[in-house]
Amino acid sequence: MTPQQLLFYCRPGFESDLAGEIVAKASALGWQGYPLAQPQAGHVAFVLTEERPANALHRALPLESLVFARQSLVALEPLEALSRDDRLSPIIEQVVASGWSFESLWQETPDTNDAKALSGLIKALQRPLESMLKKRGALRRKAGGRRLHLLWTDGDRVQLGMSFPGNRSEQPGGIRRLRFPHDAPSRSTLKLEEAWHEFVPRDQWETRLSEGMQAADLGAAPGGWTWQLVKRGMQVYAIDNGPMDRGLMATGLVEHLREDGFVWAPPMRLDWLVCDIVDKPARVIDMVERWLVKRWCREAVFNLKLPMKRRWEAVSEGLARLDRSLSEARVDAEIACRHLYHDREEVTVHVRLFN
């Protein structure tokens, strides 16, 4: 049984954006297929229309290169109309027929309220499934780190997928859940914390997010993102006409400048630029492009607010434009963009300069 589908998780409401992204990127790689996407479903399947195995396309489309996908799986055909009296047998038989073995089993649902109601069923099935898979040799200790995923969308419908180390999210459902710090000025602080987890390897935090670095936060008030910078011991230029949190100002690490973030220029090269200004994506890219071309910072994290329609097109066009500008200015840079869990109607972009 050769897998002929890829399965992606996403935030509900962004299925068409993810589908458009997958179709565009698969086509650019020479792959033909069509998406299966229902509004508010929280997942998208991409069905191949050629005989090549889906594993090859999965490797060519690493999860970290996708904007709207939370998780990326090689998938089998959905199992539908499962009997309440025996849900397990069809699942076991499909796994065995696939010829694959796995080291672990994750049962998941889309990030929707209706799907979350299936948590009781999933919990009840976990041990019996693991036991039966072990007996059939499909679940064992050494299986190349492969993981079996069961995406339940209803009590009688499940789709089986497999993930591979280095090309998957290690978070259930592809969701990184962070605890809100009680002393942070706003919940937006979680956006920057998640961005660091996403874009900066944990073993590099001590060198790339270290005490004594200098940063600018454009559109800082009341200080949700500044709080993350100060927490790492950085000195921060907080640029905003609005008031900053008193606790942050008391740290002595923040210089609050009541200026326009779109025109302010730093007095020296900084380690970090962060920006969560609510404005048109094109205007934010113009501003960040100026910072990067002039090499005013070494790394940047900024959010782009999304339009109501054609969101994938807006993001792809903006990123392509930024990439062209940096190339023309001979700025050696790495650009990444993700729709993070703590984002809503925006995406988060990270740029790292190497010269």
Q: What is the CATH number of the domain that holds 40?
A: 3.30.2130.30
Residue 181 domain-assigned (yes or no): no
User: 179: buried, middle or exposed (CB in 10 Å: 19+, 13-18, 0-12)?
Assistant: exposed
Residue 135 domain-assigned (yes or no): yes
Tell me, yes or no, if the pTM score tops 0.85: yes
| 208 and 338 assigned to the same domain | yes
Residue 212 domain-assigned (yes or no): yes
Helix (H, G, I), strand (E, B) or coil at 75: strand
CATH of the domain at 291: 3.40.50.150
| 229 and 139 assigned to the same domain | no
β-strands 43-48, 33-37 pairing: antiparallel
Strand partners, 294: none
Catalytic residues: 305
Other C-beta atoms closer than 10 Å to the C-beta of 159 total 21
CB proximity list for 259: less than 8 A, separation 6 or greater: 239, 241
| 13 and 116 assigned to the same domain | yes
| 217 and 129 assigned to the same domain | no
Residue 184 domain-assigned (yes or no): no
| 328 and 220 assigned to the same domain | yes
Chosen domain end from 146, 174, 202 = 174
| 241 and 157 assigned to the same domain | no
| 105 and 216 assigned to the same domain | no
Amino acid at 255: E
| 134 and 194 assigned to the same domain | no
Strand partners, 107: 150
pLDDT computed for residue 88 by the predictor:
96
| 349 and 216 assigned to the same domain | yes
Contact 192, 213 (CB under 8 A): no
Chosen domain end from 174, 205, 237 = 174
Amino acid at 273: L
What distance in Å separates the CA atoms of residue 339 and residue 314, rounded to the nearest whole number?
Answer: 13
Residue 341 domain-assigned (yes or no): yes
Total domains in the chain come to 2
| 229 and 257 assigned to the same domain | yes
Radius of gyration of the chain (CA): 22
pLDDT computed for residue 1 by the predictor:
72
Residue 183 domain-assigned (yes or no): no
Positive or negative torsion for Cα 247, 252, 257, 258? positive
User: pLDDT tens digits for the chain (355 residues)?
Assistant: 789 999 999 999 999 999 999 999 999 999 999 999 999 999 999 999 988 889 999 999 999 999 999 999 999 999 999 999 999 999 999 999 999 999 999 999 999 988 889 999 999 999 999 999 999 999 999 999 999 999 999 999 999 999 999 999 999 999 999 999 999 999 999 999 999 999 999 999 999 999 999 999 999 999 999 999 999 999 999 999 999 999 999 999 999 999 999 999 999 999 999 999 999 999 999 999 999 999 999 999 999 999 989 999 999 999 999 999 999 999 999 999 999 999 999 999 999 999 9
| 31 and 158 assigned to the same domain | yes
For residue 53, say if its preceding peptide bond is cis, omega within 30 degrees of 0.
no
What distance in Å separates the CA atoms of residue 179 and residue 243, rounded to the nearest whole number?
Answer: 25
CB proximity list for 224: less than 8 A, separation 6 or greater: 184, 185, 186, 187, 188, 189, 191, 192, 276
Chosen domain end from 149, 174, 199 = 174
Residue 182 domain-assigned (yes or no): no
- Which region, left, alpha or beta, applies to residue 330 given φ > 0 means left and ψ of -120 to 50 means alpha? left
Max CA distance (Å), the chain: 70
| 146 and 213 assigned to the same domain | no
What distance in Å separates the CA atoms of residue 92 and residue 88, rounded to the nearest whole number?
Answer: 6
Domain residues for the domain of 237 are 189-353
Residue 180 domain-assigned (yes or no): no
